Amino acid sequence: MAPKKHSGFMMFVNEWRNRNAEGRRMTLAQAVAHCGSIWEKMTVQQRGPYNSGAKDADVMERGKRERLNCHGQGVSQVDQAQREAAESLMNMKRSTERIVIDAKKSHDLENTKFVFAAFNFFTKALTTDVYVPAEFAACEYSLKEGIKSIYSTLIDPGHIIFGQGSDALHHSSTTHNLPLPPNALGENNMGKLYRNIVDYLTKCQGDQLVVFTPAENISMVKSCFQYLACEDENDCRDGGQKIQVFDIQYLLFILKKEVLDIAGLPDENINKYVTDAFFGRDFFEFTPEIGCQYHEENDRTKYCTQSMVTRWAYTFSDFMCGDLAITVKPGKHIPPKTKPNYRIIQSDTSSLAQESSFDSFYSLPGSRVKNETQSRDTSPTGSKYSVASSSYAPADHTAFTADLNEVREFPSLGRRHPSGRCTAAAGASAESERTTRAWNLPKHSRPLQKFTDNDFSVTGAGKKNQK
């Protein structure tokens, strides 16, 4: 709302009331009516001081008001919020670096424990950062030992935010597929759950409770901890601030840098974009049997928090254990069962020899193999593999030449074969080629290099060339 402007007349009324005892006894309306008649008789010069006074008051008022940005928020407030966000980000980065570098200094980076944590939520409040949690998992991880322990639970918050049932249903059905309250599964005592989580984290880390989660989820995870802490009488005061939530991708970057340094392989090219891309690839996304029971049964392990924290641990191991020459243990550093599609097929198994390793098959000496090669060309995969094979005799590119001779196959060349003498002959030869095998070229077909552009044109030049 635009602020009310001061008027010279009202300045005059106020002054008059202050000066006259009679004026002080009048109401404002009476004083205005009385002064109106006086104001009318005043000259411009007499009114001047009051009008300029009103203008001064306007200017002073404007100076006092706060400047707003285009969203109607105070500029100084927005600035402060930005400064605080930048500060907390810097604080998070410094703390992460300190954890890693302290561990490196004490020559214990391999055994340093990190806790990864993830939440699923049912719904988020429209205007504030309040999330209603649905599932929680945390895992204790070190490079040396891999996953040491996992804490995983479904959460039944009892109710969701009023009016957001549809949003919650949509979010659930497109991601974790957990049933909404009142049918939600799992722990329904938030205070107890919060104490259990704090106990678990304390057991893992001591007094300094730090969990790592991807950057885009940090505010959600913080908010979910606050949601749980609110119900706990003892921890209500700190509002869930006891647990710090840091960026797991930044940890991966710092850790990788230090690991390479320890291993004596410092790499200038390693930067946050590289490590972020590695993390984002989520190589273990389809690993079976690492989610909770509910999500394994519902085939939504991708969104299961237990599966997520496990996958992050696998990603860390996959990225760094090799540098430190740590032997990876199935179930700790890598998935417990490796699916056959990750495995290299053994070429010496006779039943698999034909499909598994064409290279070794072709590298055998003797013409017998080449004959077989030609006969295999009829199969769609045969030619593909023969090109890939290094020892394959390069003589047999006839399949390619035959295609070139098939003039009808060039759609951009227009009407070549139905009209003109030369095109009729070419058409006929193409016809005969099509009926024969690719490598069995007719005698009159010209070598490939003698083709010119004119051969493929529809103008008279082509005919001249033919003669």
Where along the sequence are the contacts to Zn ion (CB under 5 A)?
Answer: 292, 295, 304
The continuous run of DSSP H or E covering 276 comes out as: helix 272-281
**Quick one: DSSP state of residue 215?**
G
Shortest spacing between CB 291 and Zn ion, in angstroms:
5
- Token pair belonging to 118: 């993830």
Shortest spacing between CB 330 and Zn ion, in angstroms:
21
With CB atoms as reference, the residue minimizing the distance to Zn ion is: 304
Give the Cα separation of 285 and 307 in Å (integer): 8
Looking at the Cβ atoms of 160 and 304, the one nearer to Zn ion is 304
Looking at the Cβ atoms of 115 and 292, the one nearer to Zn ion is 292
Looking at the Cβ atoms of 243 and 292, the one nearer to Zn ion is 292
Looking at the Cβ atoms of 212 and 303, the one nearer to Zn ion is 303
CB atoms within 10 A of CB 349: 10
CB atoms within 10 A of CB 455: 19
Looking at the Cβ atoms of 48 and 288, the one nearer to Zn ion is 288
**Length of the chain in residues, anyone?**
467
Residue 112 near residue 99 (C-beta atoms within 8 A): yes
Question: Which contacts of 22-28 are long-range, i.e. CB under 8 A and separated by 24 or more positions?
Answer: none
Measured in whole angstroms, how far is the alpha carbon of residue 454 from the centre of its chain? 54
- Token pair belonging to 220: 């959600």
Looking at the Cβ atoms of 201 and 304, the one nearer to Zn ion is 304
Shortest spacing between CB 130 and Zn ion, in angstroms:
22
Looking at the Cβ atoms of 295 and 333, the one nearer to Zn ion is 295
Sheet with 210-213: list strands edge to edge: 146-154, 131-142, 114-124, 210-213, 244-247
Shortest spacing between CB 154 and Zn ion, in angstroms:
7
Shortest spacing between CB 133 and Zn ion, in angstroms:
13
Shortest spacing between CB 125 and Zn ion, in angstroms:
24
Measured in whole angstroms, how far is the alpha carbon of residue 219 from the centre of its chain? 15
Shortest spacing between CB 155 and Zn ion, in angstroms:
11
The four Cα atoms 49, 55, 57, 62 give a dihedral, to 10 degrees, of -170
